[in-house]
Chains A and B, each alone.
Chain A
C-alpha cells in the first residue's frame, strides 16, 4: 500500500485558472511533509516544508497547507511557467527515509 498518494496524476489549466493539488499520506508520527517542483530532465527543486496540522506556507502563486491526513498545494492564477511535475514527500517518526508520491503533472496553457 502506498504511503503517499498524489492526485490528480495530471492537471491541465488555463492561464489564470486557480486549482489545488492533493497529497494524502498514511504514515504515523509525521516528521515533515515536503513539496518539490520538477522540470523535465532536471532534479526536484525544493518548495516547502510543513511539520504540523494547520501549518501554511506561501511562495509567489503557491500556497501549501497541511491537515492530519493530507496536504494541498494551491496554485493561484497560474502562468505557463508554473507547468511542471509537483512532488510530495513525507518523513515518518522512527524512520530516516523520505517517501515520495508519484507526482502531479501540471500543464498551464496560455
Chain B
C-alpha cells in the first residue's frame, strides 16, 4: 500500500522538551512538506524539501528543525524554542513542486 505514514498519532510532552515527529513515504515522491493546523486557521507551512539533503523554511519555521537524509523520510523536531507547540501536525509529499500533495493522517502534539 503506497502512502504517507506519520507516527505517532498522539504525542504528549512536557514543556521544555524537544520532540521529533516521524514522516515516511513510499510513493517515491521528491518533495515533502510539514504543515501545522490550528483551530480556525488554515494549514501553515513549516518546512519543505524538494530533494534529499535540501530543505527550505516555510512561513512559520521558528522553533522547528528538519532533516532530509533519505528520500523516504522527513522528520520534524519541535524544539523548546517553539512558543506554542500544541497543534495538529501534517506531513505531505508530492511528485514534484508542481503537482498535488498527498497527506498523512497527522500527529496531534500536546505540550503540558
Q: Interface on A for B, CB 8 Å cutoff?
A: 4, 31-32, 34, 36, 41-46, 49, 87, 89, 91, 96-103
Contact = CB atoms under 8 A, between A and B. Distances in A.
Contacts of B43: 44, 87, 89, 100
Give the bracket for the number of chain B residues in contact with chain A: 20 to 34
Q: Per DSSP, are chain A's interface residues mostly helix, strand or loop, or mixed?
A: strand
Interface string B1-16: 0001010000000000
A48 to B, nearest CB: 8
Contacts of B97: 91, 96
Interface of B: 4, 6, 31, 33, 35, 40-45, 48, 50, 56, 58-59, 90, 92, 97-106, 108
Contacts of B31: 96
